[in-house]
Amino acid sequence: MRVFPTTFVLTLFCLVACSTDRASDGYDIVIVNGRVMDPETKFDQIANVGIVGDRIVTITTAGISGGRTVDATGHAVVPGFINTHSHSFGGFDQKMMARDGTTTILDTELGSAAIDVFYDRHAGNSLLNYGMGIGHEPIRQVVMDGLDRELAADPTYALNTRGAAQEDGHSSWAVDVPTPEQRLQILRMFEQGILDGAVAVASTVGYMSYGTPTAEMFDLQKLAKKYDRLFGAHTRFGPTDPLPLDYSLGTREVIANAVALDGALILSHIINQGWDEIYELTRRLQEKGMVIFSEYYPAITGNPNISTPQLLPGRPELETIEITKDVFSTTTGKPYESEEAFFKEQQENPAKPIFITLRPEEWLEQWPYMKDIAIANDVVAVLVDGEPMPIETDYSEYTGHPRNAGTYGIVFRQAREKGIPLMEMVNNASYVPAKYWSMLGLEAMQERGRMQEGMIADITVFDPEQIAETSAMMTGQNGSPTEGIPYVLVAGQFVVDQGVAKLDTRPGRPIRYPVIQDEPDLDLGDEAFQWWAGYPDVRPEGR
């Protein structure tokens, strides 16, 4: 049971007591004269927003005043953007994402091996709201590569953990099939993470395409269903695979499981080969009432680390990639000069990130038309001496992928240029994730993603005519912040004020299910569906 903060109780009181006399006000902040847009109700009107504490108390056309007045004339006032796919919770990256209008960052793909450790670490120390999935890759690294659970607790350090798992020259998590004992241990850690409040059950199976039995995926999706959690996957047989197959084959694996289980599913960055087909699949399943949706980032290049399993010597995927054309050094922004130089750097610096071209340019112009889809940047932290860049770091020092600074800037610029209704893009950026998690009972998402009275005041104020990314793959410009977003609030506190990120505030809240005080029992509820069901005499040994 959740206890509401005192401010909410006061707010409720105010809703009743103050509604007839708004001039007496008492608002901490008022945002006036903006185009207030709510993607859930489709409310779209010039109005004034009154905030008390962490809540939106009033949305009205009447004049209101408060402790601080923001004039939003000519600007859209919308629910803060919810990024469903962030692997970095570091200070600089949060600042960069705040400037892009983001108020919540969640990892539904790579995840953590230790949900309790992750939430403890970020409590009271986060600019933006933060939420974490229990993750296949880090759990496999703990169980199969012997990594420390704490080391694999935070995807901000994912490049370190991948490097550590590869230290003996063999990333067991990525390429090996677990023993039956390891399978059980993996499942147990997953269930513990769910009990600890993970927002999703997350899998980067695309990085372990040949080491993961389909039954392992089915088990993970059964676990997710058992607790009604979202299952997130970077599906296998992706664009770097040499198989004569469409990408959608690996996606159909998790979709089939979800359909059989009536489970919830988010498909990570669907924008590879077959994306239009996968989009249609998810739209048709949404029509049938299933909690299934996709997510994308607006970029034709991916951003793995140089020793990502698909690029290790001898891997079949290398046949489809031209290292001197498709693979870019993040330090120079240019392709590698030779295969030798690439493999030398892979040996010397396995955690180093790279950019890799995976998709044709024209797709970038097609994706913004997709509806009811989440938008995320898939940020991976740039680690300096093993640590994420501190919040004070200048934007020009960033060497990560430019999409991390400009994802929402890009999609809103595209929407403007293509004449896509603003509400459609606000729906994608703010409401889609909140809507689906609301259906799955996540309270933190039932009070976000909406511009409505009583909701948490996570708000982004932007100029629809000006909003655009300024980041580009060019030394010094990778981290340039999005323009046209003067104000961003998290829980009623400014994290961007007059276009400048605030460095001294940490209003970010945990996005998390309540902790359940049970032990994992690994009961996947599948007895009734086994071939011996109803015939106890033929039940196989060991079940």
Cβ 377 to Zn ion, closest distance in Å?
11
Question: Which is nearer to Zn ion, 303 or 329 (by Cβ)?
Answer: 303
Q: How far is the CB of 375 from Zn ion (least distance, A)?
A: 15
State the DSSP H helix or E strand holding residue 469, giving kind and residue range, or none if neither: none
Closer residue to Zn ion, CB minimum distance, 234 or 236? 234
Tell me the residue nearest to Zn ion as measured from the CB. Answer: 234
Among 439, 174, 136, 484, which residue's Cα sits nearest to residue 305? 174
d(CA 97, CA 3): 29
Q: Which of residues 17-56 bind Zn ion (CB under 5 A)?
A: none
**Residue among 191 and 295 whose Cβ is closer to Zn ion:** 295
Candidates 71-79, 228-236, 385-393, 401-409 — which segment interacts with Zn ion by CB under 5 A?
228-236
Question: Smaller CB distance to Zn ion: residue 234 or 252?
Answer: 234
Rank residues 108 and 126 by Cβ distance to Zn ion and give the closer one: 108
Which residue's structure tokens are 């039954």? 215
DSSP state of 429: I
Distance of closest approach, residue 207 Cβ to Zn ion, in angstroms: 8
CB atoms within 10 A of CB 151: 18
Query: Which range touches Zn ion (CB under 5 A), out of 3-11, 233-241, 410-418, 485-493?
Result: 233-241
Mark residue 157 as left, alpha or beta (left: phi above 0; alpha: psi -120 to 50; beta: remaining): alpha
In whole angstroms, the minimum distance from the beta carbon of 107 to Zn ion comes to: 10
Residue count, binding to Zn ion (CB under 5 A): 1
* Count of C-beta atoms within a 10 Å radius of residue 121: 17
| Sole window of 69-77, 187-195, 234-242, 519-527 interacting with Zn ion (rule: CB under 5 A) | 234-242
**What is the DSSP track for 122-173?**
HTT--SSEEEEEEEHHHHHHHHHH---TTTTS-GGGHHHHHHHHTTTS--HH
SS3 readout for 221-280: HHHHHHCCCEEEECCCCCCCCCCCCCCHHHHHHHHHHHHHHCCEEEECCCCCCCHHHHHH
Residue number, 226 or 234, with CB nearest to Zn ion? 234
Q: Which is nearer to Zn ion, 78 or 266 (CB)?
A: 266
Nearer Cβ to Zn ion, position 268 or 471? 268
Is 401 a binder of Zn ion (CB under 5 A)?
A: no
- What is the DSSP-derived secondary structure letter of residue 481? P
Give the end-to-end CA distance of the chain in Å, rounded to a whole number.
Answer: 36
Q: How far is the CB of 473 from Zn ion (least distance, A)?
A: 19
At closest approach, how far in Å is the CB of 238 from Zn ion? 8
Question: Are the beta carbons of 296 and 377 closer than 8 angstroms?
Answer: no
Query: Near Zn ion by CB under 5 A, which window of 9-17, 156-164, 227-235, 454-462?
Result: 227-235
162 sits near Zn ion (criterion: CB under 5 A):
no
The minimum distance between CB 208 and Zn ion, in angstroms, equals: 12
Query: Toward Zn ion, which CB reaches closer, 309 or 481?
Result: 309
DSSP 346-406: HHH-TT-BEEEE-S-TTHHHHGGG--S-EE---B-PPEETTEEPPTTS-GGG--S-THHHH
Instruction: Compute the least distance from the CB of residue 378 to Zn ion, in Å.
Output: 6
The single residue listed with the structure tokens 């699949």 is 281
Under rule CB under 5 A, residue 234 binds Zn ion: yes
Determine the distance from the C-alpha atom of residue 202 to the mean position of all C-alpha atoms in its chain, rounded to a whole number: 11
Provide the minimum distance between the beta carbon of 475 and Zn ion in the complex, in angstroms, as a whole number. 25
Interacting residues with Zn ion (CB under 5 A):
234
